[in-house]
Chains A and B, each alone.
Chain A
Amino acid sequence: MTTFFVTWLATIPQLAVPYALAALGLILSERAGVLNLTAEGLMLVGALASVAVLLTFRPDPLVAMMAGMLAAAAVSVLFSFLVIVLRVNQVIAGLVIVFFCQGLTSLLGNLFGWTSKAFSGLGPVSLGVLADIPVIGPILFRQDVIVYLMIPIVFGVSYLLQRTRLGLRLRAVGESPEAADAMGVSVSMTRFLAVTAGSALVGLAGAYIAVANVKVWIDDMTSGRGWIAIALVIFARWNPWRAAAGALLFGSIQAVIPKLAAAGIVLPQYLLMTTPYLATLGVMIWVSIRHLNGPSDEPGALGQPYVREERR
Chain B
Amino acid sequence: MRDDVSDATRRASPIDTAGNAVIAKAHAAGRQRRFGQISIEVRRSASFPLRLFALAAALVTGLGLSAFALILVGVPAESLADEFVSATILDPMNFKAVLVQAAPLILVGLAAAMAFRVRFWNLGIEGQMIFGGVGATLVSLLHLGPEWARLPLMGLAAVTCGALWASIPALLKLRLSVNEIISTLLLNYVAYYVLLHLLYGAWKDEDGFPHSPAYAASELLPNLDSGVSVSLVLAGGMTLLMTYLVARSRAGFYMRFVSANPGVARALGLPVANMVLFVVLVSGSLAALAGFVVSSGQEGRLTQSFFPGYGVSGVLIGFLARNNPVAAAVVALLMSVLVIAGQNLQVFYGIPPSMVQLIQAVVVMSVAASDFLVIHRVHWIRYRA
Contact = CB atoms under 8 A, between A and B. Distances in A.
B73 interface: yes
Contact of A271 (B41, B193, B315, B361): B193
Nearest to A268: B197
Given A270-B200, A274-B190, A281-B183, A100 B361 contact: yes
Contacts of B361: 96-97, 99-100, 103
Contacts of A97: 361
A281 B369 contact: no
A264 B360 CA distance: 46
Contacts of A107: 73, 352, 354-355, 358
B204 interface: no
A311 interface: yes
A86 interface: yes
A89 B121 CA distance: 12
Nearest to B361: A100
A91 interface: yes
28 contacts: A86-B368, A86-B371, A95-B315, A96-B365, A96-B368, A97-B361, A99-B312, A99-B357, A99-B364, A102-B357, A103-B354, A103-B355, A103-B360, A104-B354, A110-B354, A111-B352, A224-B185, A227-B185, A230-B181, A230-B182, A270-B196, A270-B201, A274-B190, A280-B186, A281-B178, A284-B179, A284-B182, A309-B40
B130 interface: no
A177 to B, nearest CB: 14
Main secondary structure of the interface of A (DSSP, over half): helix
Nearest to A226: B185
A231 interface: yes
Interface in A196-246: 219, 223-224, 227-228, 230-231, 234
A111 B185 contact: no
Given A99-B357, A106-B357, A227 B186 contact: yes
A87 B375 contact: yes
Contacts of B369: 82, 86, 88
B334 interface: no
Most chain B Cβ neighbours within 10 Å, of A98, A100, A268: A100
A274 B190 CA distance: 5
A271 B40 contact: no
B44 to A, nearest CB: 8
A133 interface: no
Interface in B173-189: 176-179, 181-183, 185-187, 189
4 closest cross-chain pairs (CB), A and B = A103-B357, A100-B361, A106-B354, A103-B358
Nearest to A279: B186
Interface string A280-312: 110011001100100000000000000111110
Given A82-B368, A288-B176, A309-B40, A92 B319 contact: yes
Give the contact-size bracket for chain A: 35 or more
B18 interface: no
Given A99-B357, A271-B194, A311-B41, 16 more contacts: A92-B368, A93-B368, A96-B368, A97-B361, A107-B352, A224-B186, A227-B182, A228-B186, A277-B189, A278-B186, A281-B178, A284-B179, A285-B172, A307-B40, A309-B39, A310-B41
A273 interface: yes
Contacts of B190: 274, 277-278, 281
A73 to B, nearest CB: 18
B111 interface: no
Interface residues of B, number: 47
A37 interface: yes
Interface string B314-325: 011001000000
B358 A100 contact: yes
A103 B41 CA distance: 35
A269 B376 CA distance: 53
Contact of B352 (A37, A110, A268, A280): A110
B73 A111 contact: yes
A93 B185 CA distance: 16
Contacts of B209: none
B368 A281 contact: no
Nearest to B199: A270
Given A91-B121, A95-B123, A274-B194, A284 B183 contact: yes
Contacts of A91: 121, 181
A108 B178 CA distance: 36
B362 interface: yes
Contacts of B41: 307, 309-311
Nearest to B365: A96
B372 interface: yes
Nearest to A220: B308
Interface in A27-67: 37
A106 B352 contact: yes
A268 B198 CA distance: 10
Most chain A Cβ neighbours within 10 Å, of B123, B186, B189, B200: B186
B176 to A, nearest CB: 4
B5 interface: no
Contacts of B183: 281, 284
Interface string B148-187: 0000000000000000000000001000111101110111
